[in-house]
Structure 1
Amino acid sequence: MSSSRRVLVVEDEPVINKMVADRLTAEGYDVRTAYDGPGAVAAFGEHSPDLVVLDVMLPGFDGHEVCRRIQAERPVPVLMLTARTEETDILVGLGVGADDYLTKPFRMRELVARVAALLRRVDRAAELNGRRPLDVAGLRIDAAARRVWVDDDEVRLTPTEFDLLACLAEAPGTVVTRERLLADVWGWPGGSGTRTVDSHVKGLRAKIGADRVRTVHGVGYALEPGTGP
């Protein structure tokens, strides 16, 4: 139930901050707010939120630094809000531990849907306890512990990157469409948001090796079972 979930909203624009907080409160979440980088880190430590809605441009230090610090303290789903649409800026956010992003201006209904999808993913992860580790393509994937090793070296994936890899690893060599990835990993029906998939795949490739994930243009992606030593 959303009523048991705590959400931290970090946004320096008071009007936007209040709009997001009020809407999430109306949806049943326990919401706390912060307006700058230091305040966000302090609020995270004080309230232990289950999810953070985080603006990129903040006073004190920016959202990327906030994300770095809170993820080092405790892994948590982060939905970043950004006015920037350049892919490099989005990849920076994903690289420091963000799970998803929304570009401004955004519909409040979409924000609520993204928050719910991220929290559902946390619930699904809890259900994987007891599943045996999977070895494929030179990777060792421990779904229960949510840990991944490339050869013998552990790599740190964001929750979204892990779920993306786990989805591809269910059927190595089989092409998974972007639409299915959106539905299975993000919980978004209808196939809207394929750019999100592409951005996360780029981040995943940077960590596990670009040759391990094959692109089928116009269709989707496949984890190559024979890749690796």
Structure 2
Amino acid sequence: MTRVLVVEDEPPLVRALEINLKARGFDVDTAPDGAQALRSAAASAPDVVLLDLGLPAMDGIDVIKELRRRNRASILVVSARRTSDEKITALDAGADDYLTKPFSMDELLARLRAAARRTDTAKPSDDAPVIVTETFTLDLAAKKARRDGRDVRLTPTEWHLLEVLVRNSGRLVGRHQLLEEVWGTSQRTQTNYLRVYMAQLRRKLETDPAHPKHFFTAPGMGYRFDP
């Protein structure tokens, strides 16, 4: 059963989310602030974290960074912050998806299911390949990445994106296909997600992210991975 941690300081919204998620078979934990969220995540190892950014004492961006250091859960931001820059800041910090308030419960549930699938995809698989390049190694079965002899931490969404590209190694994968496979049908137009996540993969794995040797962009078309 998928375990969800709801990090929100508005009690009526917390209650509504808790009722709706439990009714659909999710295990639910709640936290009213960042410090409690980090303690709960350490104790219960959630599959997905629903996170508001406007939290007391500790800003949601800092919570994302700390969660990403400690936990492999998918992070779905649910926030009233609506600008593109704010969304990119959250994604860059390690969030996997972003939903603005107010939202429909149906859309939240669809994105939550997609986030849970990403977390499940990021779990070990015995038949996944090992990719070796001159600077980094990807063990997709163990979900381990190493660059220049050092471990590299990747998020569930980064692993999912990598797996789609690796599965199509040497071939161009269209933007809409990547968005649909990694984020779901409802996100087929969110090309800024791909820009942010491809930049993160290059920064983490390429020797010179500005001149990549493995993760290539075809402007307006898609992306290609070459081993």
Normalised TM-score (structure 1): 0.83
- In structure 1, distance between residues paired with 2:81 and 2:199: 18
| Residue in 2 that maps onto 1:7 | 4
Contact residue 94 and residue 203 of structure 1 kept, 8 A: no
Worse-superposed segment, 196-205 or 154-163: 196-205
- Other-structure match for 2:31: 34
Q: Which residue number corresponds to residue 182 of structure 2? A: 185
> Are the aligned partners of 1:179 and 1:191 in contact in 2 as well (CA < 8 Å)?
yes
Q: Which residue of 2 aligns with 1:70?
A: 67
1:121 equivalent in alignment to 2:123: no
Deviation at 1:17, TM superposition (A): 2.4
Go from structure 1 to structure 2 and tell me whether the alpha carbon gap of 1:106 and 1:189 turns closer, same or farther (over 3 Å shift).
closer
2:106 aligns to what? Answer: 109
Which position in structure 2 is the counterpart of 1:194? 191
Q: How many residues align?
A: 222
1:64-97 deviations in Å (ceiling 9; x for gaps): 2223333333322211123334444334333443
Give the 3-state SS of the residue equivalent to 1:200 in structure 2.
helix
Aligned to 1:220: 222
- 1:50-199 equivalent positions in 2, closer than 5 A: 50-126=47-123, 128-136=125-133, 138-188=135-185, 191-199=188-196
Q: Which amino acid aligns with 1:220?
A: G
Instruction: Tell me which stretches of 4 or more aligned residues in structure 1 moved more than 6 Å.
Output: none
3-state SS of paired residue (2:5): strand
Unaligned runs of 5+ in 1: none
- Post-superposition offset of 1:54: 0.7
Give the % identical residues: 38
**Structure 1 pair 35–123 and aligned structure 2 pair: CA distance change class (3 A):** same
For residue 78 of structure 1, give the secondary structure of its aligned residue in structure 2: strand
Gaps of 5+ in 2: none
Is the 1:137–1:224 Cα contact (8 Å) retained in structure 2? no
Which letter maps to 1:128?
S
Q: 1:192 to 1:53 in 2, by over 3 A?
A: same
CA offset digits 1:119-143 (Å, max 9, x no partner): 1223334462243411247431110
Shift of 1:6: 1.6
What letter corresponds to residue 154 of structure 1 in structure 2? D
Cα RMSD (Å): 2.4
Asked whether the 8 Å contact 2:118–2:182 carries over to 1, the reply is yes
